[in-house]
Homo-oligomer: A and B are copies of this chain.
Amino acid sequence: MKQSSNVPAFLSKLWTLVEETHTNEFITWSQNGQSFLVLDEQRFAKEILPKYFKHNNMASFVRQLNMYGFRKVVHIDSGIVKQERDGPVEFQHPYFKQGQDDLLENIKRKVSSSKPEENKIRQEDLTKIISSAQKVQIKQETIESRLSELKSMRGKRPNSLWCQSTQSRILKEGIVKRCRKIKTKKRVLILAFDVLESRFQ
């Protein structure tokens, strides 16, 4: 099953199938050559498909068509959708047109599930994040130790500003309390980073 260019096997087989006159009873170009028709779905699946593919299921054939971006052409009569059981099925693709086999190479198979909004994280980026978190942690420890220092000064120098008034003490306690809370948050953060990091090992 050779292909002239790098067109996937499915597409060149499909092209042959639609072109071939001896299969026109089951699959052929539509009137204007802008789409193709499957005329007898049952017999097409059981008699024609296995001669070109490794199966005889219409569903698998349609799955491939969808993988390559073909769309079923919906027929509407008087505003209601046709639902004939054995009616012809029509498929269309902007690059699958009669007499223009040169367009085939523009048809691209859809790639597996990697969603467009998902990207792979580079180790470099992850290192940056972790490094950033570590720096925050170190800074925070410095602040804590400075606070601690201020606290001890109060003990040594009873007349210093820190203990001169009730208000000062309240103020200081408020700051210490908030810093403690921040520290807790930070621990959670660092922990989360550790978890994250371990997942990337």
A residues lining the B interface (CB < 8 Å): 54-55, 114, 116-126, 128-130, 132-137, 139-144, 146-151, 153-154, 158-165, 167-168, 171-172, 174-176, 178-179, 181-183, 185-190, 192-193, 195-197, 199-201
B178, A185: Cβ atoms closer than 8 Å: no
Q: Hey, which chain B residues are within 8 Å of A117, CB to CB?
A: 122-124, 200
Assembled-state Cα–Cα distance A119/B114 (Å): 12
B195, A192: Cβ atoms closer than 8 Å: no
A181, B183: Cβ atoms closer than 8 Å: yes
Assembled-state Cα–Cα distance A118/B119 (Å): 10
Q: Hey, which chain B residues are within 8 Å of A183, CB to CB?
A: 181-182, 185
Assembled-state Cα–Cα distance A122/B196 (Å): 14
Q: Hey, which chain B residues are within 8 Å of A165, CB to CB?
A: 163, 165, 167
Q: Hey, which chain B residues are within 8 Å of A126, CB to CB?
A: 119, 121, 125
A162 partner, pick from B120, B168, B179, B189, beta carbons under 8 A: B168
Assembled-state Cα–Cα distance A150/B178 (Å): 17
A10, chain B: closest CB distance, angstroms: 15
Q: Hey, which chain B residues are within 8 Å of A197, CB to CB?
A: 192, 195-196
Q: Hey, which chain B residues are within 8 Å of A147, CB to CB?
A: 143, 146-147, 150
B129, A130: Cβ atoms closer than 8 Å: yes
Q: Hey, which chain B residues are within 8 Å of A187, CB to CB?
A: 185
A175, chain B: closest CB distance, angstroms: 6
